[in-house]
């Protein structure tokens, strides 16, 4: 109850402030926008909402996404990366016109994506990364105009969201034949999209990466300078790479999982990326957007200590020492950590990510790794 001595003018001012707060749940002011460095420091460990909005493996709905977001959030994960396919058909429909990049604002899948993003942002401290994930024609034909219009529409749609929403411009930009995109083409396309985002949202964090599979070694070739993305003077730019090294161990359908990987296999790509970031990147923060092991392509259940050791060392030891936030690739399938059917974690890999977990026996290469 208000005290009688409050004057009418003060009451009017207070009411106006309250209304403004209610009307703007996702503030867009500069004071609420973290820089790329501030976001990287807060993100820590994270996960991917894989195979949901990038293809049709799981229903692209808030109902499907919410249990997974909640489960990871309860375990202290503070970044969710949402791969999104926009210009290629998923279940027979696209989110954006493949010839123009214009969003289909009447798309039910877009409405569900907005609901998932808003739900994730409603969780205190949770960062959300959305990208353009499987855009084959766009990449094959170097359609910078389409990519720019796509991100212009995405930026317009989400410009009023909290600064914890982050835009990753183009995921793993290899061509359909798996060759890398010409670096000059990718730089030009990225620059066009970056410029359109900046018209609407000058303080939205934008993420750039390499020109094929987002390998750490690709950055030096793809980005010999930052002219296309603010010339190194934009504090709202972040770099990313993916880490499946060695692929003979981490990849799906690669034989057994008794690969004698080393600490250098894990640390080497991180160091390569850190060196680029410290030099050409001008101290830019680095986000490991994908990592993991495709164990379920070979085994029905996860009981391999060698895989457990990989998950226990990756984030808690190596990435943390490098100051790099991570997002483990979890597609609910071959790289499964969370089981969508059970709405629960399917193994103790979730414990391993924290740095330690129960083993089956004492041998690193137990029989379930074969």
Looking at residue 32, its pLDDT comes to 76
Q: Does 25 have pLDDT greater than 50? A: no
Which stretch of 8-12, 91-95, 190-194, 341-345 has the lowest confidence by average pLDDT?
8-12
Confidence band, pLDDT 50/70/90 cuts, at residue 320: very high
Measured CA to CA in angstroms, residue 76 lies from 46, 322, 361 at distances of 9, 19, 28
Report how far residue 327's alpha carbon sits from residue 240's, in angstroms, rounded to the nearest whole number. Answer: 11
Q: What is the largest CA-CA distance in the chain?
A: 78
pLDDT of residue 28: 44
- The better pLDDT of the pair 179, 23 is held by 179
- Mean residue pLDDT of the chain comes to 92
pLDDT category of residue 335 using cuts at 50, 70 and 90: very high
**pLDDT for position 297:** 97
Give dist(CA 81, CA 60) in Å, integer: 14
User: Phi and psi at residue 79, in whole multiples of 5°?
Assistant: -145, 135
Report d(CA 10, CA 88) in Å as an integer.
Answer: 54
Which pLDDT score, from 0 to 100, does residue 255 have? Answer: 84
Extract the runs of DSSP E, i.e. beta strands, from the chain. Answer: 45-48, 79-82, 127-131, 165-168, 206-208, 237-243, 286-291, 326-328, 338-339, 344-345
> What is the per-residue pLDDT across 61-119, written as a single tens digit (0 to 9) for each?
999 999 999 999 999 999 999 999 999 999 999 999 999 999 999 999 999 999 999 99
* DSSP-assigned states of every residue in 115-163: HHHHHHHHSTT-EEEEE----HHHHHTT-HHHHHHHHHHHHHHHTTS-T
Q: What percent of the chain has pLDDT over 90?
A: 91
Query: CA angle, 359 as apex, 355 and 362 as ends, to 5°?
Result: 115
pLDDT value at 7 more than 50: no
CA distance 95 to 326: 27
Summarised one tens digit per residue, pLDDT across range 34-66 is 999 999 999 999 999 999 999 999 999 999 999
d(CA 148, CA 68): 31
Q: What is the pLDDT of residue 326?
A: 99
Q: What is the pLDDT of residue 21?
A: 37
């Amino acid at each position: 109850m208000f005290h009688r001595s409050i004057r009418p003018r003060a009451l009017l001012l207070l009411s106006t402030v309250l209304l403004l707060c209610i009307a703007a749940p996702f503030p867009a002011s500069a004071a609420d926008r973290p820089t790329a460095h501030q976001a990287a420091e807060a993100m820590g460990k994270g996960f991917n909402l894989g195979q949901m909005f990038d293809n049709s493996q799981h229903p692209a709905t808030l109902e499907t996404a919410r249990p997974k977001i909640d489960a990871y959030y309860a375990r202290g994960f503070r970044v969710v990366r949402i791969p999104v396919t926009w210009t290629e058909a998923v279940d027979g429909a696209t989110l954006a016109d493949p010839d123009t990049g214009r969003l289909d604002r009447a798309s039910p899948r877009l409405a569900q994506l907005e609901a998932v993003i808003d739900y994730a942002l409603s969780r205190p401290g949770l960062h959300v990364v959305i990208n353009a994930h499987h855009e084959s024609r766009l990449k094959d034909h170097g359609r910078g105009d389409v990519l720019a219009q796509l991100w212009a529409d995405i930026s317009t749609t989400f410009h009023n969201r909290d600064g914890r929403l982050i835009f990753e411009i183009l995921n793993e930009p290899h061509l359909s034949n798996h060759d890398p995109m010409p670096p000059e083409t990718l730089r030009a396309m990225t620059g066009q999209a970056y410029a359109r985002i900046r018209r609407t949202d000058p303080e939205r964090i934008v993420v750039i990466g390499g020109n094929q599979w987002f390998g750490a070694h690709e950055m030096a070739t793809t980005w010999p300078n930052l002219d296309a993305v603010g010339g190194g003077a934009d504090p709202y730019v972040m770099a990313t790479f993916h880490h499946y090294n060695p692929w003979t161990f981490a990849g799906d359908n690669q034989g057994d999982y008794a690969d004698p990987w080393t600490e250098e296999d894990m640390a080497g790509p991180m160091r390569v990326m850190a060196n680029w970031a410290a030099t050409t990147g001008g101290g830019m923060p680095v986000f490991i957007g994908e990592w993991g092991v495709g164990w379920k392509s070979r085994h029905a259940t996860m009981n391999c200590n060698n895989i457990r050791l990989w998950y226990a060392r990756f984030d808690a030891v190596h990435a943390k020492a490098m100051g790099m936030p991570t997002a483990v690739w979890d597609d609910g399938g071959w790289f499964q950590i969370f089981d969508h059917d059970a709405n629960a974690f399917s193994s103790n890999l979730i414990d391993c990510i924290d740095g330690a977990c129960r083993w089956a026996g004492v041998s690193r290469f137990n029989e379930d790794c074969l």
